[in-house]
Amino acid sequence: MPDYLVRLVQMHESFRQAELQALADVVEVPIEFVKYEDESPFCIVRLPSDASAKAVISRSLLSQGIYELWGQGATYDALHKSVKEISNAKWAQYDSVPFRFTLDCFRGTRDNAEQREIIDSFSYLGFKGPIRMREADASFKVFEEYGGKAAGPKYAYLGRFVAASGRDAKTTYDLKKRHYISTTSMDAELALVTANMALAAPGKLFYDPFMGTGGFPIACAHFGAVVCGSDIDGRSIRGTGGSARRGQTDKFDVQDNFKQYGLESRYLGAFVSDLTNTPFRLLQHSNSASRGGYLDGIVCDPPYGIREGLKVLGSRDKLNEQERATHEGRYKDPGYIPPRKPYSFTAIQDDILAFAVATLVENGRLSMWMPTANDEDVELIIPTHPCLDIVSVCVQPFNKWSRRLLTYRRRAESEIPEGALESIKKEYEQGVRADELNDFRRKYFEGFKEFERLRQEPSTDDTNNKADDSKGVSGRWRENSGAN
Amino acid sequence: MKLLTLNFLTCAIKTCKSAPSSFPLHPRDASLEVIETDLNLPFLKNILPRLMWDELRVITSELGLPDLPPTPPTREDLVVAAEDAAVEGEESEEEASQTAKDLHRVLLETTVKEGKLVCGNCGHEYKVLEGVPNFLLPGHLV
């Protein structure tokens, strides 16, 4: 298989390789990573053909394009030597076609004279075709990678352009231009990456149990999937809860978002529901032929309990007879709002996994986002289920916390070890208040004290516990009032 | 909400899930709207084996829609038998059959605008408001 050079973007580093792998999985093409580093935007992969390279890259968000690798080297002498060795058989093919030659310097610059000199140094390729900077039949690029303080590049490549990525979609679906968004909408780029990870594609059925204003379903529909979604808050779906945009007061709803992008035909609709009391069919009924699930993918960004409350149906305290009777008598009233209670953060993660196991088809995927405090970095706890394989874990770091995109694959029945399902009984956080139920939320609002403490005093055992004061006024105030 | 969705939904009450009569949910006082969309043949082919056909027929007959055949169509039934297409080679586009068009009309163009969805087991009614059904359970049922 020939080698290809993928020009990646130098951001969301931990997502890039996983995205390429997922895209190869979608088009069922074998991909082999020859060279990949988180610090470099140049990745060398092995793919069967130009056509498969194009198929893989055309949906990619985290790359710019794919090039057939014609040579590489740490110096220009090494690069020229490698070009002559690897690609001389291909030169004749481009002998007389219109072509162009350009330069891409990563973390470096070259002025026009230098660029010209570099390009001229490849004159031994012997191309006699006309030079055309637009709509050339063959487009070549010299890539330079700079590092540290050295004046020259530390590595260089020559590639023939094969196909551009699908990164344009990032602009098309930009939240700034979207009709209707909310405070917790995921940025378009990462929503589209999430859809890629879950293998959204034409003919497939996707679902988002925490849809909000529909960002994830829209991203999946962009890649051809038919989508539906639900949310515990019906106002966000119907668009009667106001908008996150200042001055926007008219009625805006999820349906109109799909209209904006011309994706209505792929939108099945939405309903109001709670994942812990889902209306989805979890057991099989009539025709046994369809044993197994019916969803090809589930994508979601569940509420973290910070900006969006992590709540499920139910009451904080057990209802007494009289309260039950009141609910029973009133629930059909138009203004009735069912009671909701805070819910355990780890329990919801496991609920999502269990739901995915019940509804996904074999090899169907679940991609979900989960926040985590950086002080827990030592041992990242990734929720697991015996019926699900972890495909990838990608991290988007923030200052004191980060969030991870977890992607799972539904195993086939034959892959599930016997007796594995009986062993998953777990203890969850007990309590009724959000802070008791959600460790991440508690740490967030405490300002990630533990993280601060570890950073400021890496080794000393802090017996005085002064670091507890990191919350400033309230901390000191508490100390003073405690003395009384 | 498009009618296909009803093929995946049951009563949200946990004790109802195991009762066969909780699926499908029965539309009542439903006002329907047909919104024309592009036919999506790959999707129909993919979703066909996952459909609960008998239950789908129950819903269409309750809504007074044209009867569906008693047995589910096969994937081959969805495309027009392409004898002359073979001349062009495999590249030529498959053409959707009348069966596919009818199925598309029912599953992906017919939407429930307003009304109720009723569980056949416990009788609980889920309201549909502006095309969005509400499956939240009241306090005494959680």
Q: Which residue of B has its CA nearest to A294?
A: B50
User: Is pLDDT larger for residue B40 or for residue A471?
Assistant: B40
Cα gap A82→A73, rounded to integer Å: 7
pLDDT score at A283: 65
Closest in B54, B55, B132 to A271, CB measured: B132
Task: Render B13-76 in DSSP notation, one character per residue.
Answer: SGGGTT-GGGSSPEEEEEEEEE------HHHHHHHGGG--HHHHHHHHHHTTPPPPPSSPPPGG
User: Is pLDDT larger for residue A380 or for residue A87?
Assistant: A87
Q: Residue A433: what are its φ and ψ, rounded to 5°? A: -90, 150
**Which residues lie closer than 8 Å to A181 by C-beta, 6 or more apart?**
A175, A213, A215, A243, A244, A245
Range in A48-62, A110-124, A212-226, A249-263 the model is least confident about: A249-263
A192, A239, A271, B49 from A179: Cα distances, Å: 17, 11, 20, 36
The whole-angstrom distance between B119's CA and the closest CA on chain A is 11
Contact B78, B99 (CB under 8 A): yes
pLDDT digits (tens, 9 = 90+) for A405-422: 999 999 988 888 777 666
pLDDT at A286 exceeding the cut of 60: no
User: Is pLDDT larger for residue A48 or for residue A285?
Assistant: A48
Q: A-chain residues within 8 Å CB-CB of B5?
A: 228, 268-269, 271
Q: B-chain residues within 8 Å CB-CB of A203?
A: 40, 42-43, 45-46
Q: Which domains does chain B have, with CATH numbers?
A: 3-135 (2.20.25.10)
pLDDT at A90 exceeding the cut of 90: yes
Cα gap A104→A143, rounded to integer Å: 5
Helix (H, G, I), strand (E, B) or coil at A114: helix
The whole-angstrom distance between A214's CA and the closest CA on chain B is 14
**Which residues lie closer than 8 Å to B126 by C-beta, 6 or more apart?**
A279, B12, B25, B116, B117, B118, B119, B133, B134, B135
pLDDT score at A44: 98
pLDDT digits (tens, 9 = 90+) for A224-279: 999 999 999 988 898 876 666 777 667 788 999 999 999 999 999 999 999 999 99
pLDDT at A480 exceeding the cut of 70: no
Going across the sheet that includes A63-73, the strands are A32-35, A42-46, A3-8, A63-73, A155-164, A138-145, A99-106
Instruction: Return the number of other C-beta atoms located less than 10 Å from residue A317's C-beta.
Output: 10
Cα gap A417→A453, rounded to integer Å: 43
The whole-angstrom distance between B40's CA and the closest CA on chain A is 7
Closest CA to B69 of B59, B79, B54, B50: B54
pLDDT at A141 exceeding the cut of 60: yes
State whether residue A259 sits within 8 Å of chain B by CB: no
Task: Render A169-182 in DSSP notation, one character per residue.
Answer: HHHHT-GGG-SS--
Q: State the average pLDDT for chain A.
A: 87
pLDDT at A346 exceeding the cut of 90: no
Average pLDDT over residues B54-70: 93
- In chain A, % of residues over pLDDT 90: 63
pLDDT score at A425: 63
User: Is pLDDT larger for residue A343 or for residue A459?
Assistant: A343
Strands A99-106 and A138-145 turn out to be: parallel
- Note which residues in 405-464 of chain A have CB less than 8 A from chain B: none
Average pLDDT over residues A380-408: 90
User: Is pLDDT larger for residue A67 or for residue A347?
Assistant: A67
Q: Which residue of B has its CA nearest to A226?
A: B43
What one-letter code names the amino acid at A271?
A: F
Cα gap A392→A66, rounded to integer Å: 23
Cα gap A308→A253, rounded to integer Å: 19
Task: Render A6-60 in DSSP notation, one character per residue.
Answer: EEE-SSSHHHHHHHHHHHHHHTT---EEEE--TT-SEEEEE-S-HHHHHHHHTT-
Cα gap B58→B20, rounded to integer Å: 14
pLDDT score at A451: 66
| Per-residue confidence band for A287, with pLDDT thresholds at 50, 70 and 90 | very low
| Per-residue confidence band for A173, with pLDDT thresholds at 50, 70 and 90 | very high
pLDDT digits (tens, 9 = 90+) for A354-377: 999 999 999 999 999 998 887 765
The whole-angstrom distance between A252's CA and the closest CA on chain B is 13
The whole-angstrom distance between A2's CA and the closest CA on chain B is 26
pLDDT digits (tens, 9 = 90+) for A419-435: 766 666 667 777 778 88
pLDDT score at B32: 95
Structure tokens at A214: 């529909």
Interface pTM (ipTM) of the complex? 0.93
pLDDT at A73 exceeding the cut of 50: yes
Residue in the structure block whose two tokens are 């110096």: A75
B18 and A283 within 8 Å at the Cβ level: the answer is: yes
Residue in the structure block whose two tokens are 């950086």: A374
Determine the residue among B38, B94, B135, B141 to mutate to test chain A binding: the one whose Cβ has the most chain A Cβ atoms within 10 Å: B135
Contact A70, A158 (CB under 8 A): yes
Residue in the structure block whose two tokens are 């690798």: A69
> CB under 8 Å, gap of 24 or more: what pairs does A328-332 form?
A328/B138, A328/B140, A330/B138, A331/B138, A331/B139, A331/B140, A332/B125
A268 and B4 within 8 Å at the Cβ level: the answer is: yes
pLDDT digits (tens, 9 = 90+) for A145-171: 998 777 889 999 999 999 999 999 999
Q: Which residue of A has its CA nearest to B18?
A: A283
| Per-residue confidence band for A479, with pLDDT thresholds at 50, 70 and 90 | very low
Q: State the average pLDDT for chain B.
A: 89
